């Protein structure tokens, strides 16, 4: 007998869950309170970022997500770019951390260290002054998240018969019943992927979980003239102290101590600077990380300026005019876990809390988690 599943939320976690359940033979309905996805799933770099994940389970999950992204993009006609990533080093301690990472990951990840000349051959945007070299990783993929998240629902409908209900909020879940305002429907499985909305459904469960909300600020530069491409996604060395993938390097602690002295405001506001380029040759730049239960809706100009100031230490572009600035909010676990999985009652599953790794982990992780149902 065909089983029915309801997925609440049409961000990347919800879409990945809908796909995983459809592959298992469920008849899936996705219910999204907004008229389209407008949350953190479209307010990001569009980076599928295995290099940021630690060796083992999470790196493998990121690679599985990468594989699924490619499959989805090819079938749905979504643009993607397998450009990899460059982390630039401008000081000996940064160079040391990158070499330690590359040595440990050379066989499993295919990472390698580049000389100044090799770095320049990969990207014409990199600043050469004081450049020691760069860490290159081949795994990273850029996707235009705004277009991808808007396109995937139609693909899921066509390929797997997934039904989408837009602009209606689930007001209560009393398994097997799901209330959508005055409408009541039933499902064999209900999966809640509601992002930073901890207040509407199962608030007590969210309140007792080690969760907070992270606000990030990002900007976009104008499309580069003549479709000039920057090559791989570009990262300053502050990213070394942000991503868990670098945590095992022996010299990272010493590097962080220097940053605490030289870049205290950057660490305070969780700023590390990266650049991705979309199909239109526009550049997405960011970002920052503010943590708390409630965030004001306004961008802080000094944070944007800190980002732009640090960007100028490692990259230059042919046209640096800004065309957009925005912020996003996503759930973040405070205990170091990669995601939140709760079962508040039989037949109901909460999948949330992927932090800034939603684009990188959601497809692979949803596939694993939904195998249990």
Residue 335 carries which DSSP code?
A: S
pLDDT of residue 106: 80
pLDDT of residue 370: 97
List all residues 6 or more positions away from 123 whose beta carbon is below 8 Å from its beta carbon: 86, 230, 231, 232, 234
Please tell me the total count of domains within the chain: 2
∠ Cα 229 11 372 (to 5°)? 115
Range of the domain at 29: 4-45+146-209+337-370
How much is the average pLDDT of 222-229?
98
SS3 315: strand
240 pLDDT exceeds 90?
yes
pLDDT of residue 317: 98
**What is the CATH classification number for the domain harbouring 9?**
3.50.50.60
Q: What is the full DSSP assignment across 103-162?
A: HHHHHHH--EEE-HHHHHHH-TTB--TT--EEEEES--EEE-HHHHHHHHHHHHHHHH--
Please report whether residue 308 resides in a domain: yes
Other beta carbons less than 10 A from residue 210's beta carbon: 12
1 pLDDT exceeds 80?
no
Judgement on whether residues 130 and 101 belong to the same structural domain of the protein: yes
Other beta carbons less than 10 A from residue 172's beta carbon: 12
Judgement on whether residues 127 and 157 belong to the same structural domain of the protein: no
pLDDT of residue 372: 87
Judgement on whether residues 361 and 242 belong to the same structural domain of the protein: no
pLDDT digits 0-9 by tens, 153-174: 999 999 999 999 999 999 999 9
Other beta carbons less than 10 A from residue 75's beta carbon: 11
- CB-count burial class (<10 Å; 0-12, 13-18, 19+) for 299: middle
**What is the CATH classification number for the domain harbouring 248?**
3.30.9.10
Judgement on whether residues 38 and 183 belong to the same structural domain of the protein: yes
94 pLDDT exceeds 80?
yes
How much is the average pLDDT of 227-232?
98
Side-chain-side CA neighbours of 282 within 13 Å: the count stands at 16
Q: At what angle do helices 252-262 and 92-109 cross, to 10 degrees?
A: 140
Please report whether residue 60 resides in a domain: no
Q: What does pLDDT average to over the chain?
A: 97
Q: Tell me phi and psi for residue 109, to 5 degrees.
A: -115, -15
How much is the average pLDDT of 292-317?
97
Helix (H) or strand (E) holding 217: strand 211-221
Please report whether residue 70 resides in a domain: no
pLDDT of residue 107: 83
Please report whether residue 65 resides in a domain: no
């Amino acid at each position: 007998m065909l089983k029915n599943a309801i997925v609440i939320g049409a961000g990347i976690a919800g879409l990945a869950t809908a796909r995983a359940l459809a592959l298992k033979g469920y008849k899936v309905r996705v219910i999204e309170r907004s008229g389209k996805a407008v949350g953190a799933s479209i307010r990001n770099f569009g980076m599928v970022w295995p290099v940021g994940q630690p060796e083992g389970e999470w790196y493998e999950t990121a690679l599985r997500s990468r594989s699924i992204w490619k499959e989805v993009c090819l079938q749905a006609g979504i643009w993607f770019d397998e450009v990899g990533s460059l982390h630039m080093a401008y000081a000996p301690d940064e160079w040391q951390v990158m070499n330690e990472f590359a040595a440990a990951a050379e066989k499993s990840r295919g990472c390698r260290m580049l000389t100044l000349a090799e770095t320049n051959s990969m990207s014409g945007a990199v600043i050469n002054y004081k450049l020691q070299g760069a860490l290159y990783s081949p795994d990273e993929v850029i996707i235009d998240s705004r277009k991808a998240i808007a396109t995937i629902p139609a693909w899921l409908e066509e390929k797997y018969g997934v039904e989408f209900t837009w602009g209606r909020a689930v007001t209560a879940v009393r398994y097997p019943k799901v209330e959508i305002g005055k409408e009541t429907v039933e499902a064999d499985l209900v999966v809640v992927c509601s992002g930073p909305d901890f207040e509407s459904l199962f608030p007590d469960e969210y309140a007792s979980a080690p969760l907070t909300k992270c606000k990030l600020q990002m900007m976009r530069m104008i499309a580069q003239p003549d479709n000039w491409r920057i090559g791989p996604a570009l990262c300053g060395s502050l990213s070394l102290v942000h991503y868990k993938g670098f945590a095992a390097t022996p010299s990272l602690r010493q590097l962080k101590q220097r940053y605490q002295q030289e870049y205290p405001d950057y660490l305070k506001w969780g700023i590390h600077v990266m650049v991705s380029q979309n199909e239109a040759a526009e550049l997405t730049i960011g970002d920052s990380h503010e943590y708390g239960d409630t965030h004001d809706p306004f961008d802080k100009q000094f944070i944007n300026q800190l980002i732009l100031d640090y960007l100028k230490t490692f990259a230059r572009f042919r046209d640096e005019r800004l065309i957009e600035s925005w912020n996003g909010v996503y759930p973040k676990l405070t205990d170091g876990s990669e995601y939140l999985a709760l079962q508040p009652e039989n037949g109901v599953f909460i999948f949330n809390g992927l932090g800034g790794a939603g684009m990188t982990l959601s497809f692979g992780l949803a596939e694993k988690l939904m195998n249990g149902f």
